[in-house]
Structure 1
Amino acid sequence: MKRRMINSLLGVVLVMVVVFCVPIALIEKQSIVNAADARVDAQAVRVLGLVESRLAAQEPITGEKFTAQLPEGGYVTIAVPGQPVLAIGTPPGPPVLSATESGADGETVTVVQSRGGVDHEIANMLLLLGVVALLAVQAAVALAVWQAKRLARPLVDLAETAERLGSGDPRPRDRRYGVPELDRVAEVLDASAERIARMLSAERRLSADASHQLRTPLTALSMRLEEINTLASEPDTVKEESTIALQQVERLTDVVQRLLTNQRDPRSPTAVVFELDEVVKQQLAEWSPTMRGTGRTLRVEGLREVRVLGTPGMVAQVLATLIENSLMHGAGTVIVRARPSGRSVVVEVQDEGPGVPTELGNRVFERAVSGRNSTGIGLAVARDLAEADGARLELLSLQPPVFALFLTRADEEN
């Protein structure tokens, strides 16, 4: 933006310089030429007056009498009827200025003067205009740089405010900059921050209420199944089925609790600092046997001993979804790679399969969108879980397929 503002103001100044300096230069040039022509005409009239006065006094017309009337480098010819033409001075080379005057008795005086002095005066005038134009451009550049910095600093500040709002920090800053338009944007951002804070508070209350209302019937169901499992003594199938049901209820309770208690603010009590390596190793241990069973390999690359801020369960669940997705739809070696990216840590999951079809590239995270006859829910739920925990899940490459989970570095929060 700074460069655009400088270029815009500089362009305006250059246009003004051209619009004003070019006509002024043309006018001044013509004025200098006209003044020089007038001087030559005046000299011709003066010499003619001397010629007429000497003719009236019947005195001879000689060159000595007129030399003092000539300018430096000038040349005069005097033609009197019945007398030879008298030439005084040295004829100058072109270009020249000349003037001719005739008297009542037929005498003619021609004054010729070199144009070099006029051209030198024109050159000095153009040089002066050029210096003025250059000073104007330098002043415009200095003003543009100052103005650009003055306007860019508030915009950078507003961008940081907007970024904080997007990351879930809804605290208003109440900063004003003395520019009505920028102050209006700051007011809107502060008002948005207050609305977001109210919405987050309402969301947390709703999550707590929903968690309580769901946990109660699930707990009752779990107690009932435990009672059935304890009292049932006849068929073994009843015990087996009830045990399976209990496991499912426990799994359901854990999932519901995780989904309802995850907050969008990574600074909420559910977000903790944990070792990313532990979660990655856990996924490596869980999925390596399955990979070997299908003749494929799971490999881990990248950072070591990296601490991130978030929920370990969320990261594990998202990575499991991505690895399972590579197992179902990909081919070859599956690589889990961690690398730094600014203030974040990026965990990439890549395989050697055919990749994501081009027509699904922008819709791969939408629900019920799948290119391989699957439900199309896994990636959508994984993205929702990541966003609910303050992280971000993106598709970086279609071929080869590269999914990336962006996490916040713990040292960036300290």
Structure 2
Amino acid sequence: MTAQRDGAEMRHAVRRLTVQFTALIVILLVLVGGLVFAIVSTSAEESNLRALTDAVHVDSPHDAPQAVWVAILDGGHLETSAVRLPGLPDEAAFAEAARTGQPVESQRDSAGRSYSVLTVADGGRIVQVARDQHETQEERGRLLWALVVSGLVAAVASAFIAAWMARRAMRPLARALALQRRFIADASHELRTPLTLLSTRAQLIRRHLTSASATDAAPALAGELDEIVHDSQLLTEILEDLLIAADPRESAIAADVDLVAWADTAVAAAVAHATSGSVSITRTGENRALVVLASPAALQRLFSSLISNAVDHASGTVQVDVAAEGAEAVVRISDDGPGFPAEMAERAFERFSSSRRETNLSEGPRHYGIGLALAAEIAARFGGSVRIEPARVTPGTPPGATVTVTLPLHRGRTKTGGSAHP
């Protein structure tokens, strides 16, 4: 659900950026196209006016440039070009030029075409020239269509480019958002188990205080307080490891870690939790040191998560078995609970995929489907893996569940001490 919501938000952001960028490009194209059209139109008008101005100096209509019509009124005698144009000459322009002595510009329509007309008083005569605007208008039309088509093509191209650029720009942001949410989910999940242990130990201390005298309770209280101090330190280490895991640029400092010692510590820490749920927890297998190269805090997170998950789902027993198999250290955490549904086996290591059968939804902690995903990521960071073993098929008993963690042994350090341990 979270991934779908993030995907929808990213698509919405990409669409919004695409629309905004495309709109900006379209506005720029309209401004540039309008400027180009205005410049070309102004240039065509100036060219047309120069042609008309040059034509008024001809001595006879027969000497007129091509595509220019000329009429000369001299001493009441009107002489025009051989081609007759309906509506020309412009008598009103003749009269105004004769009255004012200034050039007169006008527009006349003739035979369905538009003509630019210039009438000039030249000495004792009046010259009127006209030029067909059909070709100029067609050029303007072609330019306008070229600008519109090129603008549409550019707008479509810019939309595709904008979508591509927006997706590329949003990917780092989406990854950062996913990393942030992942860190929050991991932190909330990982801190739950140590906080539960702290709460359980505090309840035990209160029980000792209410059921025994201060002198009788002192040794037990001292031990419980030591455990609370240890759990508090563990919380700090978990937070530091979470911060490292949340930043891909950082890497945890790996050290030689005795897997057997860490398994013993994790089991001891889970005893109070298991006892409160009427579950017995035992540690079997190797007692010699099995050294792996890993982060102590990360291994604590891995064991605490898997053992706590097994205790929460067990009917009565949890077993943690540590063994050396070839060049690998193998830890099997088994419980006699309802096990994993067969249809969830493939998705058990996905985040937020709750892969256990819940036996009682009204009591106990809620499981969000993060523990196995975190365990798999921690193991992978140090060259290992996590897998679910096939369920045991015994008539009349629950199938149970077995989660196996495999880590490579640190060569040459499997029998001697000196490794990092709790």
| Greater relative contact order, per chain length (Cα 8 Å cut-off, separation 6+) | 2
Higher fraction of helix: 1
Scaled by the length of structure 2, the TM-score of the pair is 0.42
TM-score scaled by length of structure 1: 0.43
